[in-house]
Amino acid sequence: MPDRIRVTGIEVTATHGVYAEEKVTPQLFVIDLVCSLRPRPEVDDLTTTVDYADLAVRVADAARSGSVDLIETLAERISGVCLADPRIAEVEVTVHKPQAPVGVPVADVAVTITRRNLT
């Protein structure tokens, strides 16, 4: 079983969505990551593993840049950011859109994808 880094609750304000108002009115998105590592760090040294603070910043930056229609597309973009680090073998990305305009009260709308590093 690989070691995993879990970073949950990355909050980003951005303009993603299908509807015209979503493209101009920023709303909250919350991102959760579960990254499986390779190889397993064997020494107590940050340079031998994924720096989760740096990863969170890179993910937040990617989520803020360039509006997309679907949170599925946003999750795919974020998985690419994570898998650009060769120490991440697999990533599970969940993008929550708690203020999604669905016409009825909901606590959350989210999509989860899992992607592997093929290199």
Separation CA 57–CA 98 (nearest Å): 21
Domain segments of the chain: what residues? 4-93
- The burial class, CB within 10 Å (0-12 / 13-18 / 19+), for 84 is exposed
Q: What is the pLDDT of residue 106?
A: 93
Question: Active-site residue 97, yes or no?
Answer: yes
Question: How many Å separate Cα 107 from the centre of its chain?
Answer: 19
Region of residue 114 (phi > 0: left; psi between -120 and 50: alpha; otherwise: beta): beta
CATH of the domain spanning 4-93:
3.30.1130.10
Question: How many Å separate Cα 74 from the centre of its chain?
Answer: 8
pTM over 0.85: yes
| Strand-strand pairing, 4-14 and 27-37 | antiparallel
Q: What is the pLDDT of residue 118?
A: 84
Catalytic residue among 17, 92, 95, 97: 97
Fill in the amino acid letter for 61.
D
Q: For each successive 10 residues of the chain (119 residues), what is the average pLDDT? A: 93 96 96 91 82 97 97 99 96 97 94 93
